Structure 1
């Protein structure tokens, strides 16, 4: 911890952590609110297509989700590598200002193409914010609580899915989707003020350079960890991206039920996030295996019982819980294997997860547009999660082989660290 951090009172630490989590709350809202408002976005931005072919319009509106995800993929490593030397508080404030402006632009621009571009630009700070905020939170939490620090920052995102996303979805249904994005922009502006007031000054990494940060890409294990998130996490987004038409067309509920289903997903994500942080601090490997198995069972159950309201609510809760538990687990794994490139490692997790976001939304939309129905994305999600688990098995087996040869992973100097990374 920095000298400034050790001098903070417990109350100041709590307020700083809450401010960082509030940023996650805003990010959860800006990322996920489009999923509950997908038919509304399609009807307003693609009126001709929505009138002639609603399924095709919903699938094309899903590009807005993919555009945001791709913005995260591009922005996370770029900003994290370029700005690793910046003082962390000032960097967080700059990212929050960019979020606010990008979200306002998303609300005000008139055409589908311009809104698509705005969603890409608004997403650029996403991964860097979570990465830097996670490093600050880990510093505030102290030794031995790294994954729980990550989970605390992510808790804003998961709680947003309980409270923020359903409430803003309801606002969008009542007042139009543009009002929903204005509300999200207000959350980011409030977070800017909260971070300004509570987060202590922390220096950046004075030894960091773009070249050193990018060395993380030379590690095979970094690529394995990115693959776990990019492919395995697609299971959540294949479902979440099309939850509104799934609820209406498959389960047969009214549009007004969509926010309630989003609450259920959010409750699962909140519980899973804290459980994942607690478990990952004890065993990254066992946590990853266990939560992937839970994800597979939940997706299978949802695919088979989405026509029934009880099955829908039960299994969509478990999908959210398993996916959220995997997030701090994957991030901790990335930070373990990225050697000294901690800034970019903390951000790359969100690039990986949002490749999963884009992939799940894209493949799910293609399946719907091809006429396979609104349950098809659930089966696609199941396949993506199977592939994610297989990559995890290969990654940890690789660790075991290196340990048997007496090699180190490279992020530490002692053989015992290989053992720690493969727990």
Structure 2
């Protein structure tokens, strides 16, 4: 790994722990602040809203900054806003802190994806982007379980101390190792925002939100699936989730290699179909513990292969507006998170079993595949080439 990519990976680690650890800390936070679990759940929603709001706004606000300065500021924002959670005296300030912590998420990944592709060797742009997202996947293997353990056995506020420290290390490493890339000659803002007037732009966002949302139909309700269907004890769930994190790490790199070698759009189509197949397997075979463990690894592995191809597709499609498009993509990922959790929960509310969310996930993945096929059919073959054959035309 190039040392210049280390700050991006550390930023991904910070964001990954920040985003996902609250799911494991909910009971501890609710008990400490004397609120209900559903009220504590709003802390997760507040973060997601922050991502959706902050992704385009911060990229637009920092459009004239050199990338290194922009990323350093975003890393410092992650540090400061997470530090607010340490000292939040009550629920309201913690809710505000979670919203603020979400603001730099999309912008960091959006700017970082473009920077990573600029730092990459020819034909390895997607692999370079994947290194940044490695931090996000490692967070699910180590950071989130560790943060959850600290919250359970010590104090949930200590978890945010760790997040703030990693955020500060990210900012310092950014100053030390990130090269001072020339500021790109951006197209006028009106021209950049014109990206969102394109049908293909919204098609990419739709593919991301709906297709990737299929994963969250599964992972949002994985705990009761493992305990009630697979028969694992509740004490084993955190360790099993580490296996899911390993699957995410593997899928992240597999997807990057596929996107560099093959057309990102065609890779997406195949992977979304494959994702629907894995969710089908979850529906039918989760009753067996050995099969269930295999699927806990395999399902997020397949889902996270989508990340690099969809990022490359957004960057290649948005010539002159790469950072805005990439940041908006992060907002779409979080919309997919919310949609998957909501739609996946509907059959549960009507009394169906804990494998029923997978039916919704299968449909979402197939709809995403259909939208990807539409993208392919409406795009000239020359624009569907893999990054190894197609230069990134960044201005």
The range that moved more, 294-303 or 367-376, is 367-376
- How many Å apart are 1:236 and its aligned residue? 1.7
Residue by residue, what CA displacement relative to the aligned partner does 1:186-239 show, whole Å, maximum 9, x if unpaired?
A: 211111111111111123324344323212102111111110001111112233
Give the drift of 1:353. 0.8
Alignment check: 8 A CA contact 2:25 2:156 kept: yes
Per-residue Cα deviation, 1:372-401 (whole angstroms, up to 9, x for no partner) = 45444333322222221111111111125x
Match of 1:27 among 5, 15, 19: 15
Query: Aligned residues, how many?
Result: 388
Check 1:41–1:375 CA distance in 2 against 1; reply closer, same or farther (3 A cut): farther
Query: Are 2:62 and 1:83 equivalent residues in the alignment?
Result: yes
Structure 2 partner of 1:15: 3
Match of 1:93 in 2: 72
Residue 188 (structure 1) aligned with residue 152 (structure 2): no
Gaps of 5+ in 1: 1-12, 51-56, 404-415
Residue 195 of structure 2 aligns with which residue?
216
RMSD: 2.5
Indicate yes or no: 2:324 matched with 1:344. Answer: yes
Match for residue 271 of structure 2 among 281, 285, 291: 291
- Give the 5 Å matches for 1:13-412: 14-45=2-33, 47=35, 49=36, 57=38, 61-282=40-261, 283-365=263-345, 367-368=347-348, 371-372=351-352, 374-399=354-379
Distance in 2, Cα, partners of 1:240 & 1:104: 28
Name the SS of the counterpart of 1:124 in structure 2: helix
The C-alpha deviation readout for 1:72-97, integer Å capped at 9, x for no partner, is 12211121123122111111111111
- Bigger drift between 76-85 and 225-234 goes to 76-85
Paired residues of 2:266 and 2:376 also in contact (CA < 8 A): no
How far is 1:64 from its partner? 3.0
SS at match of 1:388: helix
Aligned to 1:4: none
After TM superposition, give the deviation of residue 242 of structure 1 in Å.
3.3
- Of 21-30 and 247-256, deviating more is 247-256
Q: Is the 8 A contact 2:259 2:386 kept in 1?
A: no
What secondary structure sits across from 2:379 in the alignment? helix
Normalising by the residue count of structure 1, what TM-score does the alignment of the two structures yield?
A: 0.84
Q: SS at 2:135's partner residue?
A: helix
Tell whether the 8 Å contact from 2:51 to 2:106 is kept in structure 1 after alignment: yes
Deviates more, 1:114-123 or 1:288-297: 114-123
TM-score by length of 2: 0.89
Q: 2: distance between equivalents of 1:46 and 1:387?
A: 41
> For the Cα contact (< 8 Å) 1:65–1:241, is it kept in 2?
no
- What residue ranges of structure 2 are gaps of 5+ in the alignment? 391-395
